[in-house]
Amino acid sequence: MTHDHDHLPDEQLGRLLRESLEPDWHGAFVGRVGVAMRADAESARWSVLAAWLRPGLVAATGIAVMTALGFALLQAPADQASFADMVVAEGVPAAMLAGEPGPSNDLMLSAVMEGR
């Protein structure tokens, strides 16, 4: 006979408890846990991707902007060189752009000598 103070399991109560609490569909339950594990792993992978998505987009946008700026800066000297051509194309006389040539050095020197 089993007593309350025994250090061993109460066999009668234990058997009744197991019968009373006995779960069914053991295989189905194990399978269900397996499915949940796979779903959780998949969800975790997507979470990682989602976590990287925002900073990834920001980084990609930054790179695109920097690339565009760099490209624009590289193009800038060529644009300045063609400014005169653009103005001519707009109808400004070429003489205005060319200007009168200044007096030669010899002429300037002789003027100074005569004035002395």
Partner 1 sequence: MTDAELAARAAHGDDNAFGQLVDRYAPAARRVARALLGSDADADDAAQEGFLSAWKAIGRFDQSRPFRPWLMRIVLNAARDAGRRRGIRETDALSPDAADRRAGPDVEAGRALLRDRLREVLATLPERQRVAITMFDAEGYAHAEIAEALGVPEGTVRSDVFHARRALRADLAPFLEDVR
The residues that touch partner 1, with contacts defined as CB under 8 A, are: 4-5, 7, 9-23, 26, 29-30, 32-34, 36-37, 40
Query: Which is closer to partner 1, CB of 26 or CB of 54?
Result: 26
Instruction: Provide the phi-psi class of 19: left if phi over 0, else alpha when psi is between -120 and 50, else beta.
Output: alpha
The distance of closest approach from Cβ of residue 46 to partner 1 in the complex, given in angstroms and rounded to an integer, is 16
Query: Which is closer to partner 1, CB of 5 or CB of 54?
Result: 5
Residue (of 92, 74, 73) closest to 83 by Cα position: 92
The distance of closest approach from Cβ of residue 35 to partner 1 in the complex, given in angstroms and rounded to an integer, is 10
The C-alpha atoms of residue 79 and residue 101 are separated, in whole angstroms, by 26
Query: Which is closer to partner 1, CB of 23 or CB of 55?
Result: 23
The answer to whether 2 and 8 have CB atoms below 8 angstroms apart is: yes
